[in-house]
Amino acid sequence: MAKQDFVDVDPGALASLMRAPPRAPRQPRETPAPTPKPKRKVKQERREQYSLAMRAGMRKNLAKLAVNADMTIRGFILHALKKEGLEVREDDLADLRKR
């Protein structure tokens, strides 16, 4: 910086600022207590996703069967697996889109 940048400073104003009493310390703000995160009710078993490849015609027929049974394809397949003796709980058959 050059000396000319400080020419406009009023020495009287600067001196009065230095004589002013210091500010009182600020009171700390009251912060609300953090809200606890809701805990899970029941520890659920992790869900895994499985992909199944099939012909397009077979998938269309599967979709029709599921619609006629008023189920999703996922629910229809799980219901069929339950009929075959696999352990499938009622909450597994619930439509996950309606959560």
Q: Count CB neighbours of 70 within 10 A.
A: 8
- pLDDT score at 61: 96
- Please give the residue that has the higher pLDDT: either 9 or 66: 66
Higher-confidence residue of 3 and 15: namely 15
Tens digits of residue pLDDT in 13-43: 777 777 767 777 888 788 777 888 777 666 7
pLDDT of 2 reads 56
- Kindly report, residue by residue over 67-85, the tens digit of the pLDDT: 999 988 999 999 999 999 9
Q: Residue 71: CB partners within 8 Å, gap ≥ 6?
A: 79
The Cα–Cα gap between 11 and 4 comes to: 15
